[in-house]
Amino acid sequence: MAMTSPDVYKLGFVGAGNMAESIARGVAKSGVLPPAAIRTSHHRADRQSVFQSFGVVILESSGQVVADSDIVILSVKPQVAKKVLLEMKPFFTDHKLLVSIAAGIKMKDLQEWSGHGRIIRVMPNTPSAVGEAASVMCMGDMATKKDEERVASLFKAIGKIWMADEKYFDAVTGLSGSGPAYVYIAIEALADGGVAAGLPRDLALALATQTVLGAAAMVNKSGKHPGELKDAVTSPAGTTIAGIHELEKGGLRGSLMSAVIAAAKRCRELS
């Protein structure tokens, strides 16, 4: 039987923080790459130990990470991205792919600072830590089909990924980037409502959390429009429509829309 050989290449992280850790763990755990193919560097011993604990190679400097990687994920905070890329510039040879996850840093700036054209920009979100990220990617002019496939498979190891034009990235940040926080508030508020209606706190929080998870899974797996699912659970003069009436009076839909628009606007201001 013909066997396809695994696509093994070297993956480096410049910036060994939380997001780098989530991606590296997901990639190693899913078997997309063996941990020995992943490398990073950090001045703090505790961050080195975290990555070493699951087999990632620790190098002396970010320069060495770039020099010794085929794909480099820029995972420092956006404020230091320019300084770091200018320092890394000499190490970016043509065959390397730069992947930036730095929020709000545009492709044209990444190109200018790194002196490199082979770039993919990705916007992941924090549920990457539990394998449920919503990520969006856009391609630089010099990135290849193979680059696209490799990056898609890396980010599928931590959730789902979609392709979108860079012009959508501020809106993506406002929706999926900031969205987990909106939903945390919704879960907390549902639990508070449960407590107000007489439930013990632990049970209220557990039910609120599972209800949000279940509703999201229903939308995802049924393929039905959320409005159709809502209509299916609202019987005439029933309990759910009474609850929905309160949500509509409170302007829940408008609040959520405004939250996404405000976060997207703020992202534009910051970038």
Residues that bind ligand NAD (CB under 6 A): 14-20, 47, 62, 75-78, 80, 84, 101-103, 123-126, 177
Least distance CB 209 / ligand NAD (angstroms): 20
Distance CA 163, CA 171 (A): 14
Burial class (CB in 10 A: 0-12, 13-18, 19+), 214: exposed
User: Are 30 and 173 spatial neighbours (Cβ–Cβ below 8 Å)?
Assistant: no
Q: Which is nearer to ligand NAD, 24 or 204 (CB)?
A: 24
Q: Which is nearer to ligand NAD, 69 or 191 (CB)?
A: 69
Least distance CB 175 / ligand NAD (angstroms): 12
Q: Which is nearer to ligand NAD, 32 or 125 (CB)?
A: 125
Distance CA 174, CA 271 (A): 13
Least distance CB 121 / ligand NAD (angstroms): 10
Q: Which is nearer to ligand NAD, 21 or 204 (CB)?
A: 21
Least distance CB 155 / ligand NAD (angstroms): 11
Q: Which is nearer to ligand NAD, 18 or 239 (CB)?
A: 18
Least distance CB 105 / ligand NAD (angstroms): 7
Tokens of 119: 């770039």
Encode burial over 155-166: b for 16+ CB neighbours within 10 A, e otherwise.
Answer: bbbbbebeeeeb
Element (H, E) at 107: helix 107-114
DSSP secondary structure string, 52-87?
HTTTPEE-S-HHHHHHT-SEEEE-S-HHHHHHHHHH
Least distance CB 127 / ligand NAD (angstroms): 9
Angle formed at CA 139 by CA 135 and CA 143, multiple of 5 degrees? 130
Q: Which is nearer to ligand NAD, 63 or 117 (CB)?
A: 63
Which backbone phi and psi does 12 adopt, to 5 degrees? -120, 145
